[in-house]
């Protein structure tokens, strides 16, 4: 199926590894010119190089998405290098501060204001900053796609991840409200909710090479992932990436304000 994405420009945040990396590569394979963002420039440039070696077009750009001025500069650099952003994928966001290791998985009663701010800055303000930075151009050009990767924790709540769950839930509400505001400009705004996803950045906690036979913990996890039990695995980056490609395409032009669950049946919230 031709998704009619050739020539479009995308910005994928947190694309230096894992889910973001796969999203960037899948979009590039569809002919999209990709701005590969990461907190670390070397990771962004490495993924951009991988895309170019595969025949695609990409530019690696560094920015802390929690910093609005850095985000504005990044969007301007992408526009200058490959064109204005048509597709924004808000992928950057984690339940713990992997970059610093300072935020532990803990109860809310044991947490503190410093950890709250770090979670909200990355998972909430990161999305607000990137969306605001590309929105005016999309409105002027009468079209665009904004897709935010959230977590099932934001829809169902997750013990020991209260602030993260709240931050992701906020993005769902934000996306629905924004969809109502910008639909008149042919801008689609949607979310993808993912569950546990194994990739190179999750080792050794979630090993992408593990099987239920070799990993007892994985076998226990699959009890809450109905289709995962059948497939013998939890989520992989390509699961989210293919969903993004669909929502970014004209095939989904009548889909907005929605949250697509790509989590193996972990959540079946209506």
Active site residues: 164
Alpha helices in 54-208 (DSSP H): 68-81, 113-120, 126-141, 153-156, 162-182
Alpha carbons 68 and 119: distance in angstroms, whole number: 16
- What 8-state DSSP symbol labels residue 184? G
In this structure, what is the dihedral angle of CA atoms 219, 223, 228, 229, given to the nearest 10 degrees?
Answer: 70
Residues forming a β-bridge with 33:
9, 57
- Centre a 10 Å sphere on the Cβ of residue 132 and count the other Cβ atoms it contains: 13
CA proximity to 21, closest of 247, 263, 261, 238: 238
- Burial class of residue 6, CB neighbours in 10 A (0-12, 13-18, 19+): exposed
- Residue carrying structure tokens 């090993």: 207
Per 3-state DSSP, the chain is made up of helix, strand and coil in percentages (nearest 5) of: 50, 15, 35
CB 102 within 8 A of CB 115: yes
Closest CA to 191 of 269, 262, 264: 262
For 27-111, strand residue ranges (E) read 33-38, 57-62, 87-90
């Amino acid at each position: 199926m031709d998704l009619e994405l050739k020539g479009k420009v995308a910005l994928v945040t947190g694309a230096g590894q894992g889910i973001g990396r796969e999203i960037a590569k899948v979009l590039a394979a569809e002919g999209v010119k990709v701005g590969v963002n990461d907190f670390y420039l070397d990771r962004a440039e490495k993924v951009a190089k991988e895309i170019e070696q595969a025949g695609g077009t990409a530019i690696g750009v560094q920015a802390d998405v929690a910093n609005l001025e850095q985000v504005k500069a990044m969007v301007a650099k992408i526009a200058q290098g490959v064109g204005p952003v048509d597709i924004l994928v808000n992928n950057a966001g984690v339940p713990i501060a992997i970059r610093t290791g300072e935020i532990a998985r803990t109860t809310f009663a044991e947490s503190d204001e410093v950890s709250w701010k770090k979670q909200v800055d990355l998972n909430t303000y990161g999305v607000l900053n990137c969306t605001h930075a590309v929105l005016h151009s999309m409105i002027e050009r009468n079209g665009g796609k904004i897709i935010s990767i959230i977590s099932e924790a934001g829809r169902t709540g997750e013990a020991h991840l209260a602030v993260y769950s709240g931050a992701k839930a906020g993005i769902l509400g934000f996306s629905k409200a924004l969809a109502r505001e910008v639909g008149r400009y042919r801008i689609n705004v949607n979310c993808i909710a993912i569950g546990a996803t194994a990739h190179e950045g999750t080792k050794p906690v979630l090993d992408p090479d593990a099987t239920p036979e070799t990993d007892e913990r994985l076998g226990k996890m699959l009890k809450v992932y109905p289709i995962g039990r059948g497939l013998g695995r939890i989520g992989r980056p390509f699961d989210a990436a293919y969903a993004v490609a669909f929502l970014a395409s004209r095939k989904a032009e009548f889909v907005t304000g929605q949250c697509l669950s790509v989590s193996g049946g972990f959540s079946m919230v209506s």
